[in-house]
Structure 1
Amino acid sequence: MRLSNRNKTSVYSFVNTLLLMFLAAGVGAYLLEEYRFNILGKESILLIIVPIMFLGFFYLNGRQIFEYDSDGEAIHFRNRNIIPFLSKPLSDEFPKYKLLKFEVIDLFFMKRLYITISSKNSGSTILKYEISYLTRKEINDLKFSLNKVIKANNEKKS
């Protein structure tokens, strides 16, 4: 099964640009307010704080683009940001038989996928992916596909 939200890259880029424009407009409005108009008083700092909070929420929510491919004998995960220099992209590929378990953590707006795979050196390794920007249907499809792989692995063992 293949799962990707790469086609939404333009939407995420637009939102990022819009948030940066709001921040620039907020800084401009703050400077005009402080040095020219002085209507709002102390509340004028909100013109900068609110756009920074929204921008921070957008970036802290995780990497925007997630790709999953379980066709063939291997599972391939990719997780990257729309802005390349913000964080290092993740890309992992391993055989299906190494998948031990997975867990999806849902904390308000942040969603994480934890994959446990078997490893020669340490016994098992946990891989972490940010899936906050996937829809509920995409997450359910991902869970279904991973459960299918785990079930096939358990049948081969017994």
Structure 2
Amino acid sequence: MRLSNRTKAPIYNFINTLLLLMLLGGIIGFIMEHYKFRILGGVSYLLIIVPLLLLVLYYINGRQIFEYDSDGEALHLKNRNIVPFLNKPLSDEFPKYKLMKFESVSLLFIRRLYITISSKNNGSTILKYDISYLTQKEVNDLKLSLNKVIKANKERRH
């Protein structure tokens, strides 16, 4: 099964650009208010704080682009940000038989996927992915596919 939200990258770029422009407009508005108009008073700090808070929330939410491919004998997982220099992109590929378990954690608007794979050195390794920008249907499809792989692994072991 293949799952990707790569086609939504222009939307994420637009939101990113809009938030940056809001911040720039807020900074210009604050400077104009502080030195020229003096209408808003202490509320003028909100011109910078609100866009900055929205931008920080957008970036805290995680990497925007998530790709998953379970076709063949290996699982391919990729997670990257639309702004290339912001976060290091994650790209993992491992055989299906190494998948031990997975867990999806949701906190408010932030969703993470934790995948545990077997490893020769440590016994197991946990891989972390941001899936906040996936729709609920995509998350359910991802869970269904991973459950199928785990079920097949259990049947092979027995």
TM-score, normalised to structure 2, is 1.00
Give the match's secondary structure for 1:63.
coil
Shift of 1:98: 0.2
Give the match's secondary structure for 2:62.
coil
Q: Percent identity?
A: 68
TM-score, normalised to structure 1, is 1.00
Shift of 1:104: 0.1
**What corresponds to 1:100 in structure 2?**
100
Give the match's secondary structure for 1:133.
coil
Shift of 1:3: 0.2
Give the match's secondary structure for 1:87.
coil
Alpha-carbon separation, structure 1, partners of 2:34 and 2:123: 60
Shift of 1:135: 0.3
Shift of 1:111: 0.2
Query: Gaps (5+ residues) in structure 2?
Result: none
**What corresponds to 1:149 in structure 2?**
149
**What corresponds to 1:27 in structure 2?**
27
Shift of 1:70: 0.2
Indicate the RMSD between aligned Cα atoms, in angstroms: 0.3
**What corresponds to 2:60 in structure 1?**
60
Alpha-carbon separation, structure 2, partners of 1:60 and 1:108: 12
Shift of 1:130: 0.4
Aligned residues: 158
Alpha-carbon separation, structure 2, partners of 1:114 and 1:32: 47
Alpha-carbon separation, structure 2, partners of 1:112 and 1:21: 29
Deviations 1:81-122 (A, max 9, x none): 000000100000000000000000000000000000000000
Shift of 1:148: 0.3
Alpha-carbon separation, structure 1, partners of 2:31 and 2:107: 37
Deviations 1:62-88 (A, max 9, x none): 000000000000000000000000010
Alpha-carbon separation, structure 2, partners of 1:30 and 1:125: 48
Shift of 1:25: 0.4
